[in-house]
Every structure is written in C-alpha cells, then in structure tokens.
Amino acid sequence: MGTYADLVNPSVLTQPTYQPGKPIETVAREFGLDPTAIIKLASNENLHGPSPLALAAAMRVLQEVNYYPDGATTLLRDKLAEFWNLAPEQFLVGNGSSEVMVLLGQALLRPGDEVVYGSEAFIFYKLVTLLFGARPVSVPMPAHTHDLDAMLEAITERTKLVFLACPNNPTGTTNSPQAILDFANRLPEHVVLCLDEAYAEYLDDAVDIRPLIASGKKIVGARTFSKIYGLAGLRVGYLYGAAEFIALLQRVRQPFNVNLVAQSAAVGALDDTEFVSRVRAENLAGLSQLEQALTALKVAFVPGHGNFMVFHITNAEEVFDALQRQGVIVRPLAPYGMPDSLRVTVGTSAQNERFLETLWNVIGKK
C-alpha cells in the first residue's frame, strides 16, 4: 500500500523546513514559566510595538472583513508609488516579503538553475532555491560579511538569481552602498539581483537602487512592514522593480494574497515617519547598550546594523537553553553553520538590560 510519502513530489521529501524563533507560549509551557515574564528576543521583531498610525488604520477596517480585500492592492501600491516616487506598476505586494521571494522563485527558477547567496545569509534563500529544484550556490562570508567579488566569481551561465541582504540576517553586517551598486552593475544580463532590504530602514545610508532599475539593470528590492513598522503579525511586504518584470510576477500570485487589515495598516504605516525615527533612534541606543555591556562581559560580538546582534560564546546551545529557563528567548545559529554563536534582537532598554543580566547570570555560573 502506498503512503503519502510515495505520492508527493520527491523534492518535498528533502525540502528543509524553516525553524522560526520559539514562541513565548511554547517556552512557557516547556519550562513551566509565566508567559508574561518571558521576553522573546528571537525573531527580530519590533519590541517597541506596532506603528500607532498602522494600528489605527487596521482597526478602521476590521468591521469590513466580510469583504474580500482588493486583490490588486491598489491603495497600497498608490501609496508606495508616492512614497518612493515610482509608478504603482512597479510594486508587487505579498503576504510578507517571504511570499514575494517565493513568487520570484516561482516565476524564475527551473530545475538546474543556480541561485547564489552568502553562506551566512538569511536561510530562506536556500529554501526558496530548493523549493523550485534549483541548485544553491553558497559563497563563504569572511568576517561574517558578504564577499561581493567572490559572489561575482560564483556566477555561471546557469545562475538565474542572486540574493543579497543588507543588512544581512543573522550576521547584522552590511556592504557599502557604493559596493552594492558596483556589484549590481557588474552582474551579467541573465541574472536577477534581489536586494533584500528587510532591515534597511535601520541604516543611515541605505543604498538607493531606483537609478539602477531605471537604467534597465535586472534588480529588485524586497521590503517588509514586519521590522521597523512593527507589523510582523499582519504579514505584508513588497517587491519593487521594473514594471515589465513586476507585471510577470503578478501572474503567479494568488488572487487575494494580502489581507484587508494588512493592506490598510501598511498604508497607515507609510505615514508614520515619527514612529520610524523614534524606533531607529532607540535601536541605535540599544545596539550601543549591548555592545558596551558585551565588551565589559568579554563576550565577542559582530557589530550589528539591524535590530539584532550576533555574539560568540562557547556551549552556545547550553547558554540558549539556560537563558530560556530564565525566560529570555534568543536564537541559536547552528542552522547557519555558526554553532558557537547566538543572535539577540535589540529590545527596549529594560529588555536589553534583562537579557544582559540573565546572560551574566548564566555565563558567570559556568
């Protein structure tokens, strides 16, 4: 008798699953803790809360969820066009930027194609590559930073897509705007570059790829409302690029891929410049709070440019576990080939303090 495993597409059997940060409820149950006493610093969420303007806009449409959302995300694409000074036809909106990256893979990749990305880059790139039977080409990242020359050398005739995150998750490192522009300019015509800008709002000097798009370079930017805007739970992100390419990508999405509440919240979020500036400033203060304290604790770290930071520690799994038992959830990096490192999301100043005290408790006792 056949099993379901005999029935599925064989690639499903080898497809890895994404391992998210542990939810508070799960840790509370596992260790018998009070969920309200747990802090989750494991998924690079915005611990300053959602944008108030986004929240108000979300509340306004809750009464209308008996209607389907606008499948074409018209208001949001108009707003994005105004925000970026581009045309509405240059935006593809998705259920988080993860979805738009899957759509990119679905539209571009065939078995045998190659996808180039960094060895310590966001793991989702590998999942998208394998999902469509393409071949992952992982390029080493010396000093935890994308080596753009080595990535160029890894390009072959089979390369279809390159993923580059600036800042990168989990390492928090970034490449300079000029280095990114030079890299994009040197890529051959048959390669699409997806610049993942999930944390770009945290940078002072994010690269502007709009001139490259206008000049006909095969490049798209992926952005999300999950990070600085604080809307991870609503799931909304987007891709921007050449209208011709975006029109092709629109064909592969579901008819109503972005829910009504998320669309409305995202429109509100784009007006919330005050919130964005406040979060950026608090995040910078949080990064230096962590850097100073980790230096004092003699814990080596990678200086971060997003809302998170990697630190190196022996027995990282044990430390991760001990932190959890004391109600602090961080992220182990063994799945990224960094078994001696953990990643912590920058929280409020009080949460950062709690993390640092708990860490000291844990490593001081060893």
Is there binding between residue 283 and ligand PLP (CB under 6 A)?
Answer: no
Q: Residue 33 has what DSSP assignment?
A: -
Candidates 134, 141, 165, 239: give the one binding ligand PLP (CB under 6 A): 165
Residue 18 tokens, joined: 């994404």
HSE, CB side, 13 Å, CA atoms: give it for residue 32.
Answer: 0
In the complex, residue closest to ligand PLP by CB: 96
Q: Residue 196 has what DSSP assignment?
A: E
| CB-based contact 337:171 (threshold 8 Å) | no
Gap between the Cα atoms of 258 and 69, Å rounded: 7
Q: How far is the CB of 351 from ligand PLP (least distance, A)?
A: 18
| CB-based contact 125:342 (threshold 8 Å) | no
Gap between the Cα atoms of 146 and 125, Å rounded: 14
Candidates 103, 134, 162, 198: give the one binding ligand PLP (CB under 6 A): 198
Amino acid at 77: R
| CB-based contact 238:263 (threshold 8 Å) | no
Gap between the Cα atoms of 121 and 181, Å rounded: 19
| CB-based contact 88:70 (threshold 8 Å) | no
Q: How far is the CB of 347 from ligand PLP (least distance, A)?
A: 16
Nearer to ligand PLP, 227 or 354 (CB): 227
Nearer to ligand PLP, 224 or 264 (CB): 224
Is there binding between residue 226 and ligand PLP (CB under 6 A)?
Answer: yes
Output phi, psi for 35, to 5 deg.
-55, -30
| CB-based contact 237:47 (threshold 8 Å) | no
Gap between the Cα atoms of 225 and 236, Å rounded: 6
Candidates 91, 117, 122, 320: give the one binding ligand PLP (CB under 6 A): 122
Is there binding between residue 96 and ligand PLP (CB under 6 A)?
Answer: yes
Gap between the Cα atoms of 227 and 202, Å rounded: 9
Q: How far is the CB of 214 from ligand PLP (least distance, A)?
A: 24
- The window from 93-101, 257-265, 325-333, 358-366 that contacts ligand PLP (CB under 6 A) reads 93-101
Candidates 51, 73, 98, 173: give the one binding ligand PLP (CB under 6 A): 98
Q: How far is the CB of 145 from ligand PLP (least distance, A)?
A: 14
Are β-strands 39-40 and 331-332 bridged in parallel, bridged antiparallel, or unpaired?
A: unpaired
329 C-beta neighbours (distance < 10 Å), count: 22
Size of interface with ligand PLP, in residues (CB under 6 A): 13
Is there binding between residue 232 and ligand PLP (CB under 6 A)?
Answer: yes
Output phi, psi for 345, to 5 deg.
-80, 140
Is there binding between residue 97 and ligand PLP (CB under 6 A)?
Answer: yes
Nearer to ligand PLP, 51 or 224 (CB): 224
Is there binding between residue 196 and ligand PLP (CB under 6 A)?
Answer: yes
Question: Site mask, ligand PLP, residues 13-52, x = CB under 6 A?
Answer: -------------------------------x--------
Candidates 46, 90, 169, 173: give the one binding ligand PLP (CB under 6 A): 169
Cα dihedral sign for 164, 256, 85, 217? positive
Nearer to ligand PLP, 184 or 293 (CB): 184
Question: Site mask, ligand PLP, residues 206-225, x = CB under 6 A?
Answer: ------------------x-
- The window from 91-99, 107-115, 250-258, 344-352 that contacts ligand PLP (CB under 6 A) reads 91-99
Residues that bind ligand PLP (CB under 6 A): 44, 96-98, 122, 165, 169, 196, 198, 224, 226, 232, 237
